[in-house]
Amino acid sequence: MKNTIRLIGILGIMITTGLTYHIQAQETNLIKEVKITANDGFTELRNLVAQNFNFTNPNLTEGMMNSEVKFEVTDNGKIANVSVKGDCKYVNQEIQEVMSHLLYQFHDSSKMNKVYILPISVAIASR
């Protein structure tokens, strides 16, 4: 009887330890999302998006449009898996098009987080 209780106790400790280790391993392997702010070193990327944005789309309406771009940085430093949400679907589509086709590469991407969120505001003036 004592051996059975001792065996159950040892198994309980092993299961608890295994679950704790598994949970800790999962927490350290999570991909973090980083929200990009004004003075963060992404100025060049913002400028490229602005330079390549097509303001001639007739569906764009006048005003300030806010969008959030979520993208991944691959192991070789390229932008991938771009998704955009925001005020205007046409602005979102254009930002997605620009970001998806940029010939841009981050240097030393091994030290970077993998997922970023970049807020972008686009001012559309009357034509």
For the chain, 127 residues long, give each residue's pLDDT as a single digit of tens.
Answer: 545 454 444 444 444 434 334 444 344 444 566 666 666 667 888 888 989 999 888 888 889 999 999 999 888 889 999 999 999 999 999 999 999 999 888 887 777 778 889 888 888 887 5
Do 21 and 51 lie in one domain? The reply is no
Best CA proximity match to 124, nearest among 40, 63, 42: 63
Do 104 and 114 lie in one domain? The reply is yes
Do 17 and 78 lie in one domain? The reply is no
What span, in angstroms and rounded, lies between the C-alpha atoms of 42 and 36?
8
Q: What are phi and psi of 29, to 5 degrees?
A: -95, 0
Do 24 and 62 lie in one domain? The reply is no
* pLDDT on residue 42: 79
Do 50 and 90 lie in one domain? The reply is yes
According to DSSP H, which parts of the chain are helical? Answer: 2-28, 43-52, 89-101
Number of helical (H) and strand (E) elements in the chain, helices listed first:
3, 4
Do 38 and 20 lie in one domain? The reply is no
Do 64 and 114 lie in one domain? The reply is yes
Q: What are phi and psi of 37, to 5 degrees?
A: -115, -175
What span, in angstroms and rounded, lies between the C-alpha atoms of 79 and 71?
7
* pLDDT on residue 94: 94
* pLDDT on residue 53: 92
Q: What is the pTM of this model?
A: 0.68
* pLDDT on residue 107: 83
End-to-end CA distance of the chain: 88
